[in-house]
Amino acid sequence: MSVIVVGVDGSDESKEALRFAIHEAQLRKATLRAIHVWTYPVIFAGEFVPPDLVDANALRESAQQALDDTVAEVAGDNPDAYIERIVEHGSVAHVLVEAAKEADLLVVGSRGHGGFTGSLLGSVSQQCAQHAPCAVVIVRKQRDRVAAE
């Protein structure tokens, strides 16, 4: 295994996914690519965003800071945890599936807030599982795994 891609958004679920991905990358001596995807605020539908209302550079910088903070929190001082940090704009599932084209494994967290909270996959993890060209691991939060046992 040479490349592992992990989606990171700062949530508890993505932190669990990052922990898993770091461990797998170390075991397999693989390159780990942590990807944070940013989008314009929901108030802007479609492709047109008035340039004077939203600063895309500020959104990208905020996304980079969120990724850096999450990696620092999860990886800590681990010298074996080399992580490529990538910030992309777009649809989360689409960006992750595209990145998975160059990967052997895609790791995502799952929030799953459907009719039965905690029992369903989140929409991003479901789309990744259905469309990724490589193996996909969907990681649940630690408390969810303990409660299920």
Q: Place 44 in a pLDDT band, splitting at 50, 70 and 90.
A: low
How many other CB atoms sit within 10 Å of the CB of residue 84?
A: 11
Quick one: which of 92, 133, 106, 135 has its CA closest to 20?
106
Q: Which residue from 4, 44, 43, 39 is spatially nearest to 21, judged by alpha carbons? A: 4
The distance from CA 147 to its chain's CA centroid, rounded to whole angstroms, is 23
Between strands 31-38 and 3-7, the pairing is parallel
pTM for this structure? 0.83
What is the C-alpha to C-alpha distance for residues 31 and 84, in angstroms, rounded to an integer? 8
Q: What would the pLDDT profile of 80-136 be if each residue is shown by its tens digit?
A: 778 999 999 999 999 999 999 999 999 999 875 444 444 445 688 889 999 999 999
145's torsion region: left (phi>0), alpha (psi -120 to 50) or beta?
alpha
Q: Look at residue 116 in the predicted model and tell me its pLDDT.
A: 45
In this structure, which CATH number among 3.40.640.10, 3.40.50.850, 3.20.20.70, 3.40.50.620 belongs to the domain 3-148?
3.40.50.620
Helices (H), the chain: 12-28, 56-75, 92-100, 123-131, 142-148
